[in-house]
Structure 1
Amino acid sequence: MTEARPILWAPTPERAEATRMADFIRWLKAERGLSFADYNALWRWSVGDLPGFWSALVDYAGLDIRGHGAVLGRREMPGAEWFPGARCSLAAQVLAHAATDPDAPALIGLSETFGRRELSWRALAAEVAAKAGGLRALGVGQGDRVVAILPNTTDSMVAFLAVTSLGAIWSQAAPDMGPTAVLDRFRQIEPKVLIAQDSYTLAGKPIDRRAQIEGIAAGLPSLSARLMVPGLNGLAPGWSDWRALAGEPAAPVPVPFDHPLWIVYSSGTTGNPKPIVHGHGGILVECAKSALHMDLHPGDRYCWLTSSGWIMWNTQFFALMNGAAVVLFDVAPGYPDLMALWRAAADERLTHLGAGAAFYQSCLKAGIEPKTLDLSALRHLGSTGSPLSPEGYDWIYSAVKSDLWLAPLSGGTDLCGAFVGGNPMLPVRAGEMQCRFLGNAVRAFDEAGNEVFDQVGELVCTEPLPAMPLYFWNDPGNRRYLDSYFDTYPGVWRHGDWIEITGDGGAVIYGRSDATINRHGLRLGSSEIYRVVEALDEIADSLVIDCEYLGRASFMPLFVVPAPGVALDEALMDRIRARIRAEVSPRFVPDLIEAVPEVPRTLSGKKLEVPVKKLFLGGDPARVVNRDSMANPDSFDWFIRWHETRGA
C-alpha cells in the first residue's frame, strides 16, 4: 500500500460540525434514520442506493422539483431516466433568493471594460424578467437556441438566466476564441439569436472584436436576431442593444426535468467539437450536491477565475443557486501583476476563491505572498484544470494562509461537475484530493476492467449520474456519445483521465489518458489544431501532443511535416502561432514547433497521438504502440530518438 501523504491542514471539530456536509449528515439521521461511521460509509450508501440518496438530497436542499413518482425510472447507463414526470426550472430556483434576501448582493462584476457593477437579488430578478420578456417578444421560446460571445460579466449571467427561464437553450463561447472554433460549435446547433460584446479591455489594452463577430454572425444563417453589448464602441449597424432590451416581465417557465438547459462543448480527437446537452434537473441537483462539497452557505462570496468558455463559468451557478454572491473577475489574471486577484479577494471579502492550477503555479514562481493582504474572510481555496503539484499545496499554506481549506477538484465539461474533490470535514493531504463525490461511483480500472487501489488506472464511473449528458446535439443513434465514453468498458463511463484511488478514499489525478488537449483547464480536440495548421500550404501534416505532468508544468509540442521544398524557419513558425492564436485561441499556442519526417499513423490512417503521448510521459517504447497496427512503423523511431535526446 502506498504510504499516506502528509496532512497539511485539518478542520477543528467545531469547524467541521458547522459545514453543510455535517448538516446533511445530521439531517439524514433525523429524517431518514441513517447513520454512518465515516465519510466512506456515507459515499458507499450514496452510490449503492441511488434513489435513496438523490431523493434525500432534493428534500434536504428544498429543491422545487414537482410531479415525479419514481426517482430513477431506468438505471442503465447510458440511458438512465431521472425523476420521470418531474418539472423544474434552474432560473426559478436561483431567483427564489430574491424573495428571501432581496437587498443582499447576488452578482458583483469586476471588469476592466466596465469597472465594478453590483446587482442585488431584487435587481437581478427584475433585470432577468425584463430581458426574458424582451427575448420572448423577439420570438424566443422553449427549445430555441440562443448563443453568446460574452466575457465573464454580469451581462453574461443575466443573459443566461433570461434565456433559460423561457425554456430556451443557452450556449456560449469565450470572446477570444477564433471564428473557426466558434463556428465549428455554433453551426451545429442552428441558433435563433446571437448575443455578443463588440470589444473589451484586457491587460489594459483595448481588444476590438467587431470584424470577427460580424464574420461569425454571417456564418450562422439560422439567426433571426443579433443583440450586442456595447463595449468600447457604439452600436454596430444591424445589431440591437442588449442592455436596452426589455419587454413585459416574464416569469420562469417550469420545464421537464430532462429539458435541455445548455449546450457545452468538449472535443475528441476527430470531427467537430461534441455539443453536450445537459438538463435543467440534472444541473439543479448537481448544484445542491456541490453545496455540500464546497461548503456553500447563503451570504458567502464566491469567485472562480475563469473564461466564459470554460465549464467553470457554468459552475458559478452552483454558488448562486445556494444563495452565495458570485464575484465575476473579468480582469487579466496577471494585470497589473499576479496580486490582482488576491487583492480582489481581500477587497470583496471572498469566502471562496478558485482558479486553475496553472495560476497558482505562476504565483509560486513569481514569489508573491498574498498573506500580506487581509484574507481573513477566505476559508476555501479551489483548484482545477490540471493536477496541482505538492509544491503548489505547500506554497498555498506558506504564502497564502495557513488556516485554509484547500480543495482541488477534478471533473469535466462532460458532466458539469466533479468526480473527486473536497470535503470540508476531512484533512487535506499534499498532492491529493480528499474524496470521491457523493453519488459518483468513481473507480480506477486497469486495462482488463478490474478495480485497483493505490495504483494508477482509468477513471471510470460505474453508476449513472443525473448531470451526465442527456445526449449530444444532432447525434443519430447516440453514436458519438457512445464512442466518447462507453467504447472501452461496456455500460461503464470512461472519462479519459488517469486516477489513483488511495486506500483511505482519497484520489490523485495524473492528467488525460486520451489525446484531448487540456490547457489550463480548457479542453480542445487536436483536430481543431490540425484544421488551422494544415490549411497552410507550407504544411503537409502535423501532430500535436499535450503532456500533463504531476508536479511540473504541462508541455504541448506541435510536430509538423513541411511541404516538399519548404523549410521550417522562424517566419513559418510565427505564421503557425499567429494562425492558432487567431483561429483557435491564444491558450492553444504550442510550447514548441518541430519539423518531423512523417506522422505515425494506424493502418486506417489515424494519427497515433496517444502512443506518442505515453512515450513522452515515460512509457516503455516497446509497449506503448503495436507496430503491426501501423501503416508506417518506422516513423515511431524518430519520436523515440527525439524523446531520448530532447525530452518532452
Structure 2
Amino acid sequence: MSQLLWKPSQQRVENTLLYHFICAQHRGFEEAEDAYDAVWQWSLDEPESFWRACWDFCGVVGDPGSSVIRYPERLIDTELFPQAQLNYAENLLARDIDGPALIFCSENGERHEWSRQDLLDKVSCLQQALKAEGVGRGDRVAGYLPNLPETVAAMLATTSLGAVWSSCSPDFGLSGLVDRFGQIEPKVLFTADGYCYNGKPFDSLNTVSALCDQVDSIAKVVVIPYANSQPDITALGSRGILLDSLLTDYTPQAVFYTRVSFRDPLFILFSSGTTGLPKCFVHSVGGTLLHHLKEHQLQGDIRPGDRMLYFTTCGWAMWNWQVSALASGASLVLFEGSPTFPDGYALAQLVQQENVTHFGTSAKYLDSLAKKNVRPIERFDFPHLRTLFSTGSPLSADGFVYVYDAWKSDVCLSSISGGTDVIGCFVGANPIGPVYAGQCQKRHLGQDVQVYNEAGEALLGEPGELVCRTAHAGMPL
C-alpha cells in the first residue's frame, strides 16, 4: 500500500463544492463509505441526470434545451445537450469577481492588475475591432503570444463572436507555426513584439513577418508591445498594426455575445507533431466549458474569490484550462517567464505574494526543485494555498513526499492526468479524499476510465492502456 500523505478533515470535506453537489442530489451518496465512488458510479449509470446536474450546479449561462444526450448507443456519435445555445466568453465574463480578474506578474518583477471591468472594457473594444475586420462565427483567430492579460482578452473577444481561437507560445519557431497555423487559416493574428526568458530578450516580429509570407489567410497582424514600448513593425507592411492603433476608434460598450450550439468549435489545439504534421484537436464551446466547470468546481474545488496560478505557456492545453477558471468566479494569476529566474523560489514567492489558493505546475518542475533542495516551507507559509496540481508527466512517489515536506503539509496534492485531446483530465483531483504517494486520487466523474490489456480486458493492479468507455464533455469534435 502506498504511503498516506494527507487526508482532509471532516470540516474541510463539508466545505467543498463537491460535497455540496453530492448532497444536492438527495440520493444519500454522502452516507456511503466512499461518497466519491458512489457519485462516480451514479455519473456512469445515469449520465443524463449527472450532466444536467453539472450544468445546473456549475451555473452554466445559456439555454440547455430539453435533451441532454443524443445518440447514446455509439460513443463516437454521442452528443451532449444537442439543443443548447450558449457562448463561452459570456460564461467567463458573467461572474462577479471578488478582487481583480487578472493579475499579471513577469520574471523581471513587472506586476499589474485588471479588474473585471477592465477586462470587460478591453474585450468590448477588441470585439468591435475584430467584427470590423470581418471576424464572425466559425472564423479562426490565432495568437503567437506570451501569457499576458491581453492574450486572455483577445481570446474572449474572439469567442464572444462565435469565432475560434488557437494559440502558440512565442518560443515556437517558424516551421512549427506554419505547420499549425497554415492548417487552420486564421484571419487575424495577435502577437507580442517579443518576450523575455531567463533574463534574456527574444524578438518575435521577424518570425511573424516570415509566417505571414507563408500563410496568406492572415489579413491583419495585431502587435501588443511587451518587450519594447514602441516596437518597429514596418517589416509587417500594411497588415501590421499596434494594439492601441487598432482600438483607437472604439470605446467600451456592453459586450454582445453570439450564442452558438454546444458543438460549435471553440479552440483548436495541436499534437506535438512528432509523427508528421501536428494534428488539430478541435474542441467545442459547450464541451470545453462544461468539462472545465466540472473539473474546476467538483474535482478542484475552485470557488468564487479563489486565485488560480498555473505555470503554463499559451502553447499548452493548461493555458485554456486555467483561463476557464474565470467561469467559476476565480481570479487568474498570470506568470510570464522562467519559473526558476532568478532562483528556484520565484513561483513559490508568487504563490505567497498573491494569496494563491490553487497552484498548478509540472511534475518536471517539482522534481527539478527537489533535486536542488529548494524548500519553500522555510521561507513561506502559504496560508491560502489549498490545492497543488501537478501534470505533464507522472509525479514520482518521492515527488509527492517532497511537496509535503518542502512546500506545505496541509494541502491537497492532485496529480492530474489527461491530455490535449480532451483539453483536461481523465483522472486526478478529489478534494474530499486522501492523497497517497505516487497516485492520482480518482477517476473523474462522468468518465468510465479503465486499464485494458492487449485483449481488451480490464485490469487491476497491472500496467496497460488507459481507456475511457463513456462519452463525456471533453471529447473533441
TM-score by length of 1: 0.70
Q: How far apart, in 2, do the equivalents of 1:362 and 1:68 lie? A: 49
Is 1:49 aligned to residue 46 of structure 2?
yes
What is aligned with 1:122? 117
Max Rg structure: 1
What is aligned with 1:6? 3
1:46-80 deviation digits (Å, cap 9, x = unpaired)? 12211111011111112123152210111222121
Alpha carbons 2:174, 2:210 under 8 Å: kept = yes
Per the alignment, in what secondary structure is the counterpart of residue 124 of structure 2? helix
Q: How far apart, in 1, do the equivalents of 2:381 and 2:114 lie? A: 24
What is aligned with 1:94? 92
What is aligned with 1:367? 373
Is 1:417 aligned to residue 424 of structure 2?
yes
Q: Which of these residues, 20, 25, 34, is aligned with residue 23 of structure 1?
A: 20
Measured after TM superposition, the shift of residue 244 of structure 1 is 4.1
Is 1:319 aligned to residue 325 of structure 2?
yes
Q: How far apart, in 2, do the equivalents of 1:447 and 1:236 lie? A: 55
Distance 1:228 1:50, change over 3 A: same
1:487-513 deviation digits (Å, cap 9, x = unpaired)? xxxxxxxxxxxxxxxxxxxxxxxxxxx
Is 1:406 aligned to residue 417 of structure 2?
no
Measured after TM superposition, the shift of residue 276 of structure 1 is 0.8
1:190-215 deviation digits (Å, cap 9, x = unpaired)? 11111111111111111112211111
Q: How far apart, in 1, do the equivalents of 2:179 and 2:52 lie? A: 39
Alpha carbons 2:19, 2:30 under 8 Å: kept = no
1:284-309 deviation digits (Å, cap 9, x = unpaired)? 11122011111101000110111110
TM-score by length of 2: 0.94
What is aligned with 1:501? none
Q: How far apart, in 2, do the equivalents of 1:88 and 1:308 lie? A: 24
Is 1:190 aligned to residue 162 of structure 2?
no
What is aligned with 1:255? 260
Per the alignment, in what secondary structure is the counterpart of residue 228 of structure 1? strand
Alpha carbons 1:445, 1:451 under 8 Å: kept = yes
Partner amino acid, structure 2, of 1:83: F
Is 1:242 aligned to residue 243 of structure 2?
yes
Partner amino acid, structure 1, of 2:84: A
Alpha carbons 2:29, 2:39 under 8 Å: kept = no
1:214-240 deviation digits (Å, cap 9, x = unpaired)? 111211101111111122341402311
How do 1:609-620 and structure 2 match up within 5 A?
none
> Number of aligned pairs?
462
Alpha carbons 2:361, 2:391 under 8 Å: kept = yes
Measured after TM superposition, the shift of residue 318 of structure 1 is 3.2
What is aligned with 1:107? 102
Partner amino acid, structure 2, of 1:66: D
Structure 2: unaligned runs, 5 residues or longer:
none
Alpha carbons 2:108, 2:199 under 8 Å: kept = no
What is aligned with 1:148? 143
Is 1:276 aligned to residue 281 of structure 2?
yes
What is aligned with 2:345? 339
What is aligned with 2:468? 461
Alpha carbons 2:107, 2:341 under 8 Å: kept = no
Alpha carbons 1:198, 1:213 under 8 Å: kept = no
Alpha carbons 2:107, 2:335 under 8 Å: kept = no
Alpha carbons 1:420, 1:436 under 8 Å: kept = yes
Per the alignment, in what secondary structure is the counterpart of residue 349 of structure 1? coil
Per the alignment, in what secondary structure is the counterpart of residue 414 of structure 1? helix
Structure number with greater CO (CA < 8 Å, separation at least 6) is: 2
Q: How far apart, in 2, do the equivalents of 1:24 and 1:161 lie? A: 29
Distance 1:373 1:35, change over 3 A: closer
Measured after TM superposition, the shift of residue 114 of structure 1 is 8.4
Per the alignment, in what secondary structure is the counterpart of residue 402 of structure 2? helix
Partner amino acid, structure 2, of 1:264: L
Is 1:309 aligned to residue 307 of structure 2?
no
Distance 1:84 1:115, change over 3 A: same
Measured after TM superposition, the shift of residue 379 of structure 1 is 1.2
Structure 1: unaligned runs, 5 residues or longer:
471-648
Q: How far apart, in 2, do the equivalents of 1:405 and 1:50 lie? A: 28
Per the alignment, in what secondary structure is the counterpart of residue 210 of structure 2? helix
Alpha carbons 1:73, 1:82 under 8 Å: kept = yes
Alpha carbons 1:145, 1:171 under 8 Å: kept = yes
RMSD of aligned C-alpha atoms?
Answer: 1.6
Per the alignment, in what secondary structure is the counterpart of residue 216 of structure 2? coil
Q: How far apart, in 1, do the equivalents of 2:348 and 2:367 lie? A: 14
Alpha carbons 1:259, 1:279 under 8 Å: kept = yes
Measured after TM superposition, the shift of residue 399 of structure 1 is 0.8
Distance 1:410 1:67, change over 3 A: closer
Measured after TM superposition, the shift of residue 33 of structure 1 is 7.4
Distance 1:315 1:355, change over 3 A: same
What is aligned with 1:350? 356
